[in-house]
Chains A and B, each alone.
Chain A
Amino acid sequence: MKIFERYLFGKLVGTLLSGLLACAGVYAGEHSDLRWHGFLSQGVIHTDENNFFGDSTGTSVDFRDVGVGFSWQPQDRLLFSTQALYRDAGGTSPNGVSVDYALVNYSLINKLDFGLDVRAGRVKNPLAFYSETRDVAGTRPSVILPVSIYAPAFRDIFHSSDSGMLSGYKEAGNWLINLDLLRGTVPFDERSGRLLIPVAQPGSIEDSKLWMARSIVEYDGGRIRFGVTYFKFNARLDTVGGPGRINPGHLDVDTRILSFEYNWENLQFNSEYMRIDSIYKGIFVPGLDVKRESESYYVQLGYRFNEKLRVFGRYDVYYADRNDKSGNGQLMLGRPKSDGFTKDVVVGAQYRFFDHWMLAGEVHHINGTAALGVIENPDVSKVKEDWNLYTLQLSYKF
């Protein structure tokens, strides 16, 4: 039954997308309410130890995003939109083209001080400050988003979903309160499923359910922003168990994120904090619940010389298990202790030019290897706890 539902949903998304593309063909050029957009980026990464986004110890260029999409407004309260995305992030994400979103949005109420939209389809999840535009390099505050909140491995599971959404705002004096509510399923594919079940083991993820709620409160046109995100995810892992393998069982994930931003003249301060509580029911040991609580945060200070040039510094921390900050538990999984944490000191700069272009570069000094993909660093003896990462990225968006 579930398989049938998923099949039906996949069909629905596919039909919606091809219908939209057909409409686009007919209306393009003559209909002003059809709008195209797109973006692309190419990055270069070098690390002195460990691999991040490809074979980076030898300098990797496996770091690019290309997206193209459009929106169509057949009448002023109704919006169809879709975006196709090509990503290459070394071994951490599947290469190739995917449907990033394909949705229909209906504006129920759109008054100056109060609004409510209803949305359905494949949507970008409302998660913390940067999740919805995380693949568009030109919108990011840095080449690599803070791994504490936006870990690359996390992206493929919690970045977008097949969902229904309610999205509203209320303005009161100088305050603006935004609220997003979501209920849906995570579109796991062969590759993203591997983040939960190892490559060597056959299995699938079934009955995934996702609930999300986010509120962002803004004061004085966004001078101060405060956000709270809560989400709950559960799924059934359908595997054939055994010693050293992932056993069939349930996974429950509870996540809370706090976000804060303060703008003062040309200075911007950001900080986000996240806590993920995961319960692995029978997955590691049949019949036994294993609970793990991760904890992570970053603080970031940016300075804008003008609309073109911005510099920033950041301290970014992630602990896979907040009750085991030195990572002893990783040894049981056959991984080094340093896989249990990451402490990243970053400085970087961004330069915008010719309206749509941006060149960005940054230097990371990292203690810990939790942000690395296991697939890219399979040899434990080569994993180094202290390492540096240098990256340069050129991006374009329209």
Chain B
Amino acid sequence: MGVFKRNKWLRIASMMFLLCAGNLYAESQQLIVNVSHTENSLSRNTARAIFSMRVQHWNDGRPIRVFVLPDKHPSHQVFTRETLSLFPHQLRRSWDRYVYSGIGTAPIEVENEEEMIAKVAATPGSIGYTRQEILNENIRTLSVR
């Protein structure tokens, strides 16, 4: 009987933990832009067009500066899969075609999330993503529709 009870509580505890963890996971992946950006949200198709490097200008004509983490970085993989609904290799293919046929450029790669936040904060017209909490007044978060 005692064993059953302990198991039950363990199950409830682990379920709650999983739920919380799931929420944290989903909410913590944030699309971030430099404070100079005025809109509050972006459609998924627009986010795809920007991160695949097809579109290089915001609607008001200003150039977009795209920052990404390395392909193997967990945040990059989560962002690509969950926010863009793409595989990292699909983005890579698009960049490769632009770079190696000379008709465009790849995004600027940063080492880690600290650098991502610093670069987006310092670069007007920039966009990036992070799972970290943002305590930087030069950065705004965008929701993806």
Q: Which of A139, A221, A263, A397 has the most CB of B within 10 A?
A: A221
- CB of A107 within 8 A of CB of B56, answer yes
Q: Is there contact, CB below 8 Å, between B102 and A101? A: yes
Which of B48, B87, B93, B104 has a CB less than 8 Å from the CB of A79? B104
Contact between A81 and B103, CB atoms less than 8 A apart: yes
- Return chain A residues, CB-CB under 8 Å to B88: 307
Contact with B along A109-143 (1 / 0, CB 8 A): 01110010101000110000000110110110000
Q: Does the CB pair A133–B86 fall under 8 Å?
A: no
* Structural contact, A35 and B100, CB atoms closer than 8 A: no
Contacts A115-B55, A307-B71 hold; do A221 and B103 have CB atoms under 8 A apart? no
A73 in contact with B105 given A112-B49, A112-B59, A307-B77 (CB within 8 Å): yes
Once bound together, how far apart are the Cα atoms of A182 and B103, in whole Å?
14
Scan residues 217-267 of chain A and give those whose CB is less than 8 A from a CB of chain B. 220-222, 263
Does A10 sit at the interface, judged by CB under 8 A? no
**Which parts of B56-108 form the interface with A (CB within 8 Å)?**
56-57, 59, 63, 70-72, 77, 84-90, 93-94, 96-97, 99-106
Is there contact, CB below 8 Å, between A37 and B101? no
A160-188 vs B, Cβ < 8 Å mask (1 yes, 0 no): 00000001010100100000000000000
Cβ-based interface call for B41 (8 A):
no
Residue contact A39 to B100, C-beta cutoff 8 Å: yes
Q: Does B131 contact A (CB under 8 A)?
A: no
Determine whether the beta carbon of B45 is less than 8 Å from that of A139: no
Q: How far is the CA of A117 from the CA of B101 in the complex (A)?
A: 14
Q: Which residues of B contact A138 (CB under 8 A)?
A: 96
Least CB distance, A310 to chain B, in whole angstroms: 8
Question: Complex Cα distance A397/B71, Å?
Answer: 14
User: B46 on the interface (CB 8 Å rule)?
Assistant: yes
Contacting residues, chain A, for B100 (C-beta < 8 A): 37, 39, 67, 69, 83, 132-133, 135-136, 139, 397
For A107, the chain B residues whose CB sits under 8 A away are 56
Residues in B neighbouring A115, C-beta threshold 8 A: 54-55
Q: Shortest beta-carbon distance, B95 to chain A, in Å?
A: 10
CA distance A119 to B103 in the complex (A): 8
Cα of A221 to Cα of B85 in the assembled complex, Å: 8
B56 touching A76 by the CB < 8 A rule? yes
0 or 1 for each of A291-305: is its CB under 8 Å from B? (1 = yes): 000000000000010
- Shortest C-beta distance, A302 to chain B (Å), equals 11
Q: How far is the CA of A132 from the CA of B72 in the complex (A)?
A: 25
> Beyond A171-B45, A355-B72, is A133–B102 a contact (Cβ under 8 Å)?
no
CA distance in complex: A158, B114 (Å) = 46
Contact A307 B89 (CB under 8 A): yes
Closest to A121 in B: B102
Q: Is A395 an interface residue (CB 8 A)?
A: no
Look across to chain B and name the residue whose beta carbon is closest to the beta carbon of A104: B102
B55 — nearest CB in chain A belongs to which residue?
A112
Q: Are B72 and A169 in contact (CB under 8 A)?
A: no
Q: List 13 A-B contacts (CB under 8 A).
A: A35-B105, A71-B105, A73-B105, A76-B63, A103-B102, A105-B103, A112-B59, A119-B103, A123-B102, A133-B101, A136-B100, A169-B54, A222-B94
**Which positions in A face B, CB cutoff 8 Å?**
35, 37, 39, 67, 69, 71, 73, 76, 79, 81-83, 101, 103, 105, 107, 110-112, 115, 117, 119, 123-124, 132-133, 135-136, 138-139, 167, 169, 171, 174, 220-222, 263, 304, 307, 355, 397
Q: Which 6 A-B pairs have the closest CB atoms?
A: A81-B102, A132-B101, A124-B101, A76-B63, A139-B96, A133-B100
